[in-house]
Amino acid sequence: MRLFYLLLLSLFWVGNLLSVGNLYVQSPSAKLLQQPQANSTGDVLSIGEVLSPISEEGLFIQVRKGSKTGYVNKLFLSAFPPGGQIKLNSQTELSDSVQARQRASDFTKTAAARGLSETESLRVRGEGHTYDFESLVWLESNSVENRPSVIVESNEVFSLKKDSSERAPKATERENKIGRSIAAKLIYKYGLIKDKDSTILLNQLGRSISSKTSRTDLPFLFGILNTEDINAFACPGGIILLTKGLVRSVQDTSELAGILSHEVSHVVLKHSGEFEEMNPILEIIFGFLAPTGGQVITSTTSLVVEQMEKQFLETGRDHKTELEADSAGIMLSSMLGYSPVKYEQYLDRVSKSNDAKTLSKTHPDSKTRITQIQTIIATLPKEENKSSNFNLERLKKGIN
């Protein structure tokens, strides 16, 4: 079964950044560093600059810019030029639905004549058994205060833009569909805390972190699951779910920022793989069939989601990817002025908690993680930690 799953993922997942041609700067934090370490000096890069990859060294890609060579953090690079961002599913415009209906009528007869393969046959629809898309739509609709029907633009001040001149890559839309499915499955299992104030606060902090990365094609989304277990889940497409137990266990904003940076790094570094775009005919048909706010789950998608759920709750990711997310997360949160030492202290404290059994089972042992984090901290620029006005107690109050 595991071999079959790996073969299946090979249909979706592509290689790393070096397998593509040019790379594009997607973050205002990107620098062309002289050495592959965070405290190296270097020139600031502009969003949209084109770089040629040479080699990979840990979290850094050696690149060429004109006659210069240097290193850039993976968190700030993308194989796609800056462009459009996918819409949150609950904000799909009516015109999109009308267009899907019109085009679906042209394709359904052809698809029916050819027959849908077993791997793409319909398994469940949007509100099907074991998937709670209704609560996911609530999260999408309540993650930003007074949000109109627009696209959320990932940047520090959470501005909203009315339109996007370019659509996000189809592979990103496929990634988002997989991510929404696993998120809906986790929400069905644990339940979602539907406190709007806490949800908005968490998304403000989370998006201030994700906006510094290369994944400008994703409207990152953060929610809280109703379980005392201490854990966090980074779903493909940028949906990050923290448990109520984890939020309660946090004692400092820097701890929470470190956790969110770790989970954001999983998404940015594509630790769930890269997803190829779906057959366009099937995409139109499934979009036509899906209920409002939901989506059709195919047998293929369902199998991938089930394996991801098992990975999240039982087997864990490969330890190398967890340690890489720790390193990237420390660099990211530190760059934003949060104390990396606080994250280290949090890991040490939570490893002793009886409510962190799933976390301990699915992650490397805390001593290994802490040792690596201490090594990374030694390479970080010496900067003063910022004074955060984030109201952690207000966040916790809403989940009680």
Enter the tokens of residue 183.
């998120």
Q: Which of 5-14, 223-232, 342-351 has the lowest mean pLDDT?
A: 5-14
pLDDT band at 20 (very low <50, low <70, confident <90, very high): low
Per-residue pLDDT tens digits for 79-130: 888 877 777 654 444 344 444 444 444 444 444 444 545 445 555 555 457 8
What is the per-residue DSSP string for 63-125? EEETTEEEEEEGGGEESS-S---PPPGGG--HHHHHHHHHHHHHHHHHHHHH---GGGSEEE-
Q: Give pLDDT, residue 270.
A: 87
**What CATH class is the domain 21-78?**
mainly beta
Q: Residue written as tokens 């990107």?
A: 30
Q: Give pLDDT, residue 100.
A: 41
The whole-angstrom separation of Cα 182 and Cα 177 is 9
**Taking 50 as the threshold, does the pLDDT of residue 54 lie above it?**
yes
> Which candidate, 317, 319, 313, 375, places its Cα nearest to that of 344?
375
**Of 398 and 8, more confident:** 398
Q: Residue written as tokens 């901290």?
A: 377
**Cα atoms in the 13 Å half-sphere on the side-chain side of 236:** 25
The whole-angstrom separation of Cα 20 and Cα 63 is 13
Long-range contacts of 111-119 (CB under 8 A, 24+ apart): 111/281, 111/282, 111/285, 116/282, 118/299, 119/298, 119/299, 119/300
Structural contact between residues 23 and 63, judged by C-beta atoms closer than 8 angstroms: yes
**Taking 70 as the threshold, does the pLDDT of residue 207 lie above it?**
yes
What are residue 240's DSSP bridge partners? 222, 234
Per-residue pLDDT tens digits for 340-358: 999 999 999 988 888 777 7
The whole-angstrom separation of Cα 243 and Cα 254 is 17
What is the per-residue DSSP string for 205-218? HHHHHHTTSS-TT-
Q: Which of 55-59, 123-127, 201-205 has the lowest mean pLDDT?
A: 123-127
pLDDT band at 279 (very low <50, low <70, confident <90, very high): low
Q: Where are the beta strands (DSSP E) in the chain?
A: 23-25, 31-33, 42-44, 50-57, 60-65, 68-73, 77-78, 122-124, 151-152, 160-161, 221-225, 232-235, 239-243, 297-298
Residue type at position 19:
S
Enter the tokens of residue 189.
């299992």
Query: In which region does residue 114 sit, left (phi positive, over 0), alpha (psi from -120 to 50) or beta (all else)?
Result: alpha
**Cα atoms in the 13 Å half-sphere on the side-chain side of 32:** 21
Residue type at position 378:
A
**259 contacts: CB under 8 Å, gap ≥ 6:** 232, 242, 246, 250, 329, 343, 346
Three-state DSSP at 389 gives coil
**DSSP code of residue 38:** T
Domain boundaries, the chain: 21-78, 89-247+274-315, 319-397
